[in-house]
Amino acid sequence: MADNKQPCAAWNCEATASYDKPLCYPHWLEWDARGLRECAQCHGFFNDHGFVLADVWNPGKGMELMCNTCGAYATNTPAATAYKNDNLPRSPIAHADITLTDRYVYILTLEDASLYVGQTTNLYIRMQEHSDGATEATRGKFPRLVYYETYLGGQFEVNDREQELTLRASDGVGQGRIRVMVEKFRENLRLLDLQA
């Protein structure tokens, strides 16, 4: 379908989006960080502030995640009807599927032998930013990428892993463990035939 302009699919957002990119950039970042979820009924995107998403049984489809309003109409139970709004049910928002991006937790060595731990959704661009001095913590310290891990989605898991490695990088014993981890990582890379 054409990339026609339409409102952002996030609840109460007036920014412009399109069929192919249904969320404005700030809401896409929130969704990619697992801060927004999509209602199976209206296909709008909601966060947990003011909108309680509930699993609703849909015959033929099984359990579906719906916003509180669509869930109220779908279940038609006394408890759910408290969420009903006179303006609903909403018309479904048409949009292309969007998928979570890979995330990377990475480690850099710096000129002063210290370690820097970070995360990104685009390792190539992030390394270019470090090389260009866009990150104050690594500016002028000749950062070199020595290790990375890949995650699909799961922002909380990635945050936990980044924090764990950052804590390790802050003391001598932890730095030693990271250096062993980097060496094991490099062993596998040596198997690559870069001429192929």
Co-location of 22 and 76 in the same domain = yes
Q: How confident is the model at residue 39, as a pLDDT?
A: 86
At 56-85, the pLDDT tens digits run: 766 666 677 777 777 777 666 554 455 555
Q: How confident is the model at residue 117, as a pLDDT?
A: 97
Co-location of 183 and 129 in the same domain = yes
Instruction: List b or e across 133-149, with b for residues whose CB sees 16 or more CB atoms inside 10 angstroms.
Output: eebeebeebebebbbbb
Co-location of 114 and 50 in the same domain = no
Co-location of 74 and 109 in the same domain = no
- Residue ranges of the chain whose pLDDT lies below 70: 1-3, 49-55, 57-62, 74-90, 153-155
Q: Which residues contact 42 (CB under 8 A, 6 or more apart)?
A: 67, 69, 70, 89, 90, 91, 92, 93
pTM: 0.57
The CATH number covering residue 115 comes to: 3.40.1440
Co-location of 109 and 178 in the same domain = yes
Q: How confident is the model at residue 79, as a pLDDT?
A: 47
Please tell me the total count of domains within the chain: 2
Classify residue 136: in a domain, yes or no: yes
Classify residue 112: in a domain, yes or no: yes
Q: How confident is the model at residue 87, as a pLDDT?
A: 46
At 28-49, the pLDDT tens digits run: 888 877 788 888 888 889 887 6
- The three-state secondary structure class of 72 is helix
Q: How confident is the model at residue 143, as a pLDDT?
A: 97
Sign of CA dihedral 13, 18, 20, 26: negative
Co-location of 145 and 175 in the same domain = yes
Enclosing domain of residue 45: 5-81
Residues 34, 23 contacting (CB under 8 angstroms): no
Classify residue 195: in a domain, yes or no: no
